[in-house]
Amino acid sequence: MKPLLRILFLWRQRAFSLALGVIVSLAAVGCGVALLTQSGALIAGALLSGTMAASWLLRLLGVGRVVLRYFERLATHAATFRALADLRVWFFRGLAGRAAGGLGFRRAGDMLSRLVNDVEALDGLYLRMMVPLAAALLLLTTLVVLIGWRDPALAVLEGVLFAASSLLLPGIAFRAATGDGARLTAAAAKLRVAALDALTGLREVRAFGAEGRMLATVQARQAALLAAQHEVARRSAWASAGSFLCAQAAILAVLIAASAEPSRGVIALFLTIAAFEAVAGLPRAGVLASHAAAAARRVLEAAAGAHPEADPPRPVPLPQATGLRFEAVRFTWQPDRPAVFDGLTLEVPQGARVAILGPSGAGKSTLAALALKVALPQSGRVLLGGADLATLAAADVRSRIAWLSQATHLFDDTIRANLRLARPDADDAALWAALQAAQLAEFVGTLPDGLDTWVGEAGARFSGGQGRRLALARTLLSPAPVLILDEPCAGLDALTERAFFATLNDAAEGRTILLIAHRLTGVERLDRIWRLSGGRAVAAAA
C-alpha cells in the first residue's frame, strides 16, 4: 500500500476537491439508501393498512438522489482529472530533472507506458476505492444502528456480512492479486515498448524484411498482456462472487427474521439491499488496487528517486566569467560500467573556439552533460568562470550555456513556438534576427504563414539542413554566452555541413564555443583542438 499512500500524499493540494467529491458521494448514497428505506416503510404501511399513499418525502428523496448523483459525477470526476493532471506534471518534472540529458538507459516506450498507462491506472484509486470505501464505512454504521434498534442479533449478523463483503473480501483480493497486478502492468509496458520500437524503426524493418519477426514480437507481448488480464478478471469474478454470496446471506437472514414481524422486515430488507448494492464494486476494486499499486510503484520509480545532480543548499552566485575548465575528472554513468573519463583535464578559455574530437563512445556527449550539470563527476571538478559547478544552481549554469545537439528536437508546433523555447519572452524582431543569423530568414519569409508556419513532427516539413538551421536559430536566440555544439551536423551531407559551419562562424561571433565532433570539415574557425582518447584529453594540432 505504500506506493498508493505516496500518490495520495502527492494529491494533497487537491484535498479540498477530493474531500468535496467524497462528501457529495456520501450524500448521494445516503439519499439512495433513504429512498429505498422509505419505500420499504411505505410498503410496510400498505401491508398493515391495506392502502398505499404517495409520500412527499419519497418524491423529495427521489429527486434528491438524481440531483446528487449528477453532482457526484461532476465532483468526483473533476477531482480525479485534476489529480491525474497534477500527477503527470509531477512525473514530467521529476523525469526532466533526473534525466535532463535524455532518457539515458531508459526505454522510450517504457517511459511512455508509465506516463500514460500507469497514470491512467491510478484513476480508480479515488473513484473505485476511496469513494466506495467511505460509503462502506457510512453504510456499515447505518445498517447496524437502524437494524439494531429493533433486532440487535440480526444487526450483528448483518454487520459481519456487510464488513466481509465491503472490507474483508477487498483486502483479501488485494493481497491475492498483488503478483497479478505487477504482471499486468509489466505486460502492458512491454507491449507498448515492442509496438513503439516497431513503429519508430519501420523503415529499417521494411528494408531488412523483418516485418514478420517484429509482428511476432508484438503478438507475443499482446498474448502475455491478455493472459495477465484474464487472470485479473478471474480473481475479480471470484471476489465479486464472494460479495454476492454475502449479500444473499444477509437478505436471507432478514427474511428469516422478518417471518415473525413482516412489516418491520420489509424495511430491513430494503435497507440491506440498498447497502450491499452501494458497495458491490468494492471486491473487484480490491483486485484492481493491486494493478494500481504496481502502476504507482513504476511511476514513483521513474520520477521520485534522488536527484543525482541536486543543487547545493546554498548555491554560490554565478560568476561573470564564462571559461570552462575540467580538472582531473573521473566519471562513469553507472557503477557497473567502465569509466568514461579517468583524469580528464582540459580548458575552454572565455571567448575561445575549442573543438573536441574523438570516435563514437569516446565520451564527447558525456563532456557536454558534465558542462551542463546534467551529471556530476565522481571525482575532480568542472569549473565555470572559476566556480565549481557543484556549488552552482543548475538553472544558473544552463542560463549561461546553450546546447545544440546532434538530435535537437523540433516540436510539432509553429516556428515561433519552437524558437521561443530558448527565450519565451522574445519578440518577433528577436525571432527574425535569430533566423537571419542562421541564414533561414529568407526562407521563412517566403512561407505563407511566416513565423506561424507549422513545423511538423521532428521538423518533418523542412529539409535536414533547414531543420538544423532552425535549431541553430533557437540556440542563437538564447542570450547564453557559451555555446556547446554536440555533433550539430550529424546526418547532413558534406556540402550542407560546410554551409552550416560557415554560417556558424559569423553567427556565433563573440561567444565561447565548444564544438564536439568526430571530424572537422576545414571551414571551422578554431583556437584549440583536443582529442579524447582513453578517458583523457590530448592536445591536437589545429
Domain boundaries, the chain: 90-303, 324-540
d(CA 428, CA 433): 8
Give the burial class of 347: count Cβ atoms within 10 A of its Cβ; 0-12 exposed, 13-18 middle, 19 or more buried.
Answer: middle
Query: What is the per-residue pLDDT for 512?
Result: 84
| Grid-cell match 533547414, residue found | 466
How far apart, in Å, are the Cα atoms of 489 and each of 117, 362, 409, 520, 528? 36, 18, 13, 11, 20
d(CA 85, CA 118): 13
Compute the C-alpha angle 333/336/338, nearest 5°: 65
Question: 261-283: b or e for each residue (b if 16 or more CB lie within 10 Å)?
Answer: eeebbbbbbbbbbbbbebbebbb
d(CA 518, CA 326): 20
Q: What's domain 90-303's superfamily in CATH? A: ABC transporter type 1, transmembrane domain (1.20.1560.10)
Query: What is the per-residue pLDDT for 306?
Result: 46
The HSE-up count of residue 466 (CA atoms within 13 Å, CB side) is: 14
What the block records as the C-alpha cell of 40 is 420499504
d(CA 380, CA 328): 5
Do β-strands 536-540 and 528-533 pair in parallel, antiparallel, or remain unpaired?
Answer: antiparallel
Query: What is the per-residue pLDDT for 103?
Result: 44
Backbone torsion region of residue 429, taken as left when φ is above 0, otherwise alpha when ψ lies between -120 and 50, otherwise beta: alpha
Spans in the chain with pLDDT lower than 70: 40-41, 43-56, 96-113, 115-116, 260-264, 302-310, 407, 490-493, 507-508, 521-523, 541-542
Do β-strands 324-331 and 341-348 pair in parallel, antiparallel, or remain unpaired?
Answer: antiparallel
- Using an 8 Å Cβ cutoff, are 189 and 109 in contact? yes
How far apart, in Å, are the Cα atoms of 441 and each of 202, 337, 429, 445? 34, 45, 11, 6
Give the burial class of 365: count Cβ atoms within 10 A of its Cβ; 0-12 exposed, 13-18 middle, 19 or more buried.
Answer: buried
Query: What is the per-residue pLDDT for 46?
Result: 60
Q: Which residues fall within 8 angstroms of residue 233, CB to CB, at 6 or more apart?
A: none
| Grid-cell match 448483518, residue found | 158
DSSP state of 125: I
**Furthest-apart CA atoms within the chain: distance in Å:** 111
Count of Cβ atoms closer than 10 Å to residue 63 Cβ:
12
Output the CATH code of domain 324-540. 3.40.50.300
d(CA 525, CA 367): 21
Query: What is the per-residue pLDDT for 109?
Result: 61
Do β-strands 401-404 and 536-540 pair in parallel, antiparallel, or remain unpaired?
Answer: unpaired
Q: What's this model's pTM, rounded to 2 decimal places?
A: 0.65
β-pair partners for 346 = 326
What the block records as the C-alpha cell of 209 is 524484411
β-pair partners for 537 = 532
